[in-house]
Amino acid sequence: MKRRKFFQVASIGAAGLTLAGSCSNIRDKNKDSVNAGSNNQAPVEPPLYRKSIKSTFATGKIKSPGDTIIVALIGAGNYGADLIMEVANLKKNVRVKYVCDVDDTRGGYIIEQLEKIQAFKPAKVRDMRHIFDDKEVDAVFIATPEHWHGLATIWACQAGKDVYVEKCISHSIIEGQKMIEAAMKYERIVQCGTQNRSADYGLTARDYIRNGGLGDIVTVHVMELLTGPVPFFEKESMEPPATLDWDMWLGPAPRVPYSVSRHKSWGYYWDYSGGSALANGSIHQVDFARMVLGDPEFPKSVYCTGGRYLFNDNRDVPDYQMAIFEYDNFILSLQAGEFTPYLAKTSNAVRYGDSFPEWKQNSTKIEIYGSKRMMYLGVMGGGWQVFDKGDDPDNGGKIVAQESGYYPRLAHTTNFIDCIRTRNQPNGNIIQGHHSASLAHLANLSYRSGKKQLIISPESETIVNDNYARELSQPKYRKGFELPEVV
């Protein structure tokens, strides 16, 4: 059997980072926005970050378990609250010094609970730059809306902070490239919130595939089909509440009047998200699929179709998308949407136990089809099972290999804290986070440019056959929140 190049897992990406450790406004004409650089000639050179990759970091003090790690939370919504509470409960000598949110109504309860745990009351701040100015802070957890992830990560790296950034880690391909540049230049640990990278059962699934257990991989199907349909009623614009710094909430995004819909349902707007199901949800499955396949990089082409089929409302993002990514030796397909009340995510009983999901009605499964056998793979727990043809077709296939899997977020946050001390690269490093996020961005570019097949140059990470899609890929930022040309 020929050994396929995407099973080579000794290095990360073409740059060769060896792990040391483990349609609304498509053309935005907003006058106070600036283009991050538009060029209708497809670049042929690799992105700059590939020249800056470091396998180890020379700077940064190694911290012993006795050294206290000072951290801050940026974005005090439900997910950020759960994340920072988990960190505080790790018993790894971590102290939360700040809780930052532009909305004064959020963060109070977290601060109360943190004070009970650590006998120290975190300060509440609105502007994340106050945290970056504090030399005592070692690391930040970024759990803002997606449109802030890139710039906040770059600012944090420039300020000498390590970063845990939630998924989807970037709002464009260029942002991801700049995030890598910043992490490498300032030698900062950046852990992406793609938690399955810390799932032990993902490593055994990768080994099973790499050792030929499925045969040659032909196609991989990734699913994020959430419960629904979900109605949406866009609220009218109004004055922002006094408790909210709306200008700072918008940050890099175009200046628009305040709307409860944009504030609370930001995942339905291109200005702030790559789609609530596609970029914010299925990124877990896409990243995990890449991991067990040995981390293939950029595809050769992408085609994405879909639309708003269930409700004629003002949401930017589709309620269903299907994307096809073409690699040298296999096809990866992705379905994402919010219309399936008959499907369900893996239950907590399975995630925290040793049983397996009911695959046929699992809404977030990965199916890997080889020339010998096929594998079902669960995300955020659920394990994997390999099926072969059974002797009795009426009774379905037989299970020939399997391993249960535990919910990996605790392992992921623990890995981040450990890497702050050791300066080893984390499991969910920024390079693989960028490669996975770019699949979501490419799918959306295909969809938003007219549902066209886009031809990709994996070497330069650019679209080579469509000027409009390439123009659309250039992010725009408001003055004062520009992505720096040189990080």
Per residue in 355-375, pLDDT (tens digit) is 999 999 999 999 999 999 999
Position 303 scores a pLDDT of 98
Mean pLDDT of 61-84: 94
Position 230 scores a pLDDT of 85
> Residue 197 and residue 259: Cα distance in Å, rounded?
36
Mean pLDDT is lowest, of 34-48, 141-155, 195-209, for: 34-48
**Amino acid code (one letter) for 318:** P
Give the domain ranges of the chain: 33-197+410-429, 200-408
Mean pLDDT of 45-52: 94
* CB contact at 8 A, 132 and 139: no
DSSP three-state, residue 336: strand
Task: Check pLDDT > 80 for residue 12.
Answer: no
Question: In this predicted model, what pLDDT tens digit does every residue of 152-186 receive, in sequence order?
Answer: 999 999 999 999 999 999 999 999 999 999 999 99
pLDDT-derived band at 11 (thresholds 50, 70, 90) equals very low
Position 317 scores a pLDDT of 93
Mean pLDDT of 404-425: 97
Question: In this predicted model, what pLDDT tens digit does every residue of 470-481 receive, in sequence order?
Answer: 999 999 999 999
pLDDT-derived band at 62 (thresholds 50, 70, 90) equals confident
pLDDT higher at 30 or 259: 259
* Nearest residue to 291 via CA among 196, 218, 383: 196
The CATH architecture assigned to 33-197+410-429 reads: 3-Layer(aba) Sandwich (3.40)
Task: Check pLDDT > 70 for residue 206.
Answer: yes
For residue 52, with 0-12 CB atoms within 10 Å meaning exposed, 13-18 middle and 19 or more buried, which class applies? Answer: middle
Task: Check pLDDT > 70 for residue 282.
Answer: yes
- How big is the chain by its Cα radius of gyration, in Å? 22
**pLDDT > 90: percent of the chain:** 83
Question: In this predicted model, what pLDDT tens digit does every residue of 214-242 receive, in sequence order?
Answer: 999 999 999 999 998 888 999 999 999 99
> Residue 464 and residue 455: Cα distance in Å, rounded?
6
Mean pLDDT is lowest, of 164-178, 382-396, 449-463, for: 382-396
> Residue 319 and residue 95: Cα distance in Å, rounded?
41
Position 43 scores a pLDDT of 59
Mean pLDDT of 209-215: 98
pLDDT higher at 421 or 22: 421
> Residue 89 and residue 63: Cα distance in Å, rounded?
19
Burial profile 389-410: b = 16 or more Cβ within 10 angstroms, e = fewer: eeeeeeeeeeeebbbbbbbbbe
The CATH architecture assigned to 200-408 reads: 2-Layer Sandwich (3.30)
> Residue 181 and residue 126: Cα distance in Å, rounded?
27
Position 467 scores a pLDDT of 96
Q: For the chain, what is the mean pLDDT?
A: 90
Position 3 scores a pLDDT of 34
